Amino acid sequence: MSVGNAYTHFVPVRLSRSAAGWGDNDFVAVGGIFGINPGAGRFYGFFGAASADYGYRCGVGARTGTFKEYFHRRREKEEKMAMTCGKCAHMGLGFYSDTIGPVEYLEGKTSADIWIVGLNPKHDIGHVEQRTPAEFAAFDPDCHPYFWDFRKVSPALYANWKGPNSRIAHTDLVKCFSPSFPAVVLVNGSPTEVDSKQVVTNCSTHLLEQIRRFRPKVIICNGAPVCYTVMGFFPPNNEAQTNRATSYKYELDLGNGSKHSLWLVFSGFIGRIDNWNRRRLGVEIEDILASEGIELHSGTSSYS
């Protein structure tokens, strides 16, 4: 990663702050946010470009020397993030973490049978994922309203999700962080939507690797873009499925003669469909789980 690339990373961050209602000169306000959430101090590139004073004030860490030296040190730090993905870096996007790689980006246990797949992680561009693998495994769906909608889909599923024997995990089709999708970055000074097809093509290699490695039995695709992409990877094998199915079973060839069967369930974005359709989806999922002998226990006793 060149110094030039390190520079492009902070430009979209600055843009997204502006989009959130702060002008380009409102650095004090932004600094206040950083004070509230020290974890977000990882946007040090933003402060580095704004003012050294604010960098110190927000506890970002001692920054001495020229900007060039600063970016050089930042580049060295980024290179130490061995598992960071830079596939979308040329578009100003990325997956940054000191703790996990994009293939480990699975909220829940890697042994989970049921995966919910959303579009992309909603964070500012430049966000550095801080959670450890243990924190990912202990994921609590109560943490965000996005997941609450699944209470209306299937109370049994949600109760299991909340419990110690959760068989449910969540990940995203795209791993690059951005507050919107398609992400908006600055190109020659103009806010520009990135090519979402290219981002999906780059990033979805991680989802495919996750599926091959951890082998979920049921994948629930949340929203049309996820549905169309996953359907493209695992195409239905007859016309009835192509035209009408909201779910079907797919035989994934793992190579060396071994196969893995997984159910694919397709839904409009669960946050926007009405409660009747949420429950319709939930009944469909529960039928699939029953047919596969996947039981959703809640509470403290372990399932066998």
Taking the complex as a whole, how short is the minimal distance between the CB of residue 192 and Zn ion, in angstroms?
A: 16
The residues that bridge with 266 in the sheet, in sequence order, are 221
For residues 56 to 95, the per-residue mask of contacts with Zn ion, x marking binding by CB under 5 A and - elsewhere, is --------------------------------x-------
Closest-CA residue to 172 (of 137, 200, 152, 131): 200
289 binds Zn ion per the rule CB under 5 A: no
1 vs 49 by CB, closer to Zn ion = 1
Query: d(Cα 283, Cα 79) in Å, to the nearest integer?
Result: 47
Burial of 283 (0-12, 13-18, 19+ CB in 10 A): exposed
Closest-CA residue to 10 (of 64, 53, 55): 55
296 binds Zn ion per the rule CB under 5 A: no
Taking the complex as a whole, how short is the minimal distance between the CB of residue 125 and Zn ion, in angstroms?
A: 11
Pairing of strands 258-267, 184-187: unpaired
- Residue 17, CB-side half-sphere exposure with 13 Å CA sphere: 25
Q: Where are the alpha helices (DSSP H) in the chain?
A: 3-19, 27-36, 44-50, 52-57, 67-80, 133-137, 145-148, 150-153, 155-162, 196-214, 224-233, 239-244, 275-291
92 vs 282 by CB, closer to Zn ion = 92
Site size toward Zn ion, by CB under 5 A: 4
Taking the complex as a whole, how short is the minimal distance between the CB of residue 281 and Zn ion, in angstroms?
A: 28
Taking the complex as a whole, how short is the minimal distance between the CB of residue 181 and Zn ion, in angstroms?
A: 11
11 vs 88 by CB, closer to Zn ion = 88
The residues that bridge with 170 in the sheet, in sequence order, are 107, 116
Taking the complex as a whole, how short is the minimal distance between the CB of residue 197 and Zn ion, in angstroms?
A: 12
118 vs 282 by CB, closer to Zn ion = 118
Taking the complex as a whole, how short is the minimal distance between the CB of residue 284 and Zn ion, in angstroms?
A: 31
Which residue's CB atom is positioned nearest to Zn ion?
A: 88
Give the count of beta carbons closer than 10 Å to the beta carbon of residue 122. 15
For residues 197 to 236, the per-residue mask of contacts with Zn ion, x marking binding by CB under 5 A and - elsewhere, is -----xx---------------------------------
Binding site for Zn ion (CB under 5 A): 88, 176, 202-203
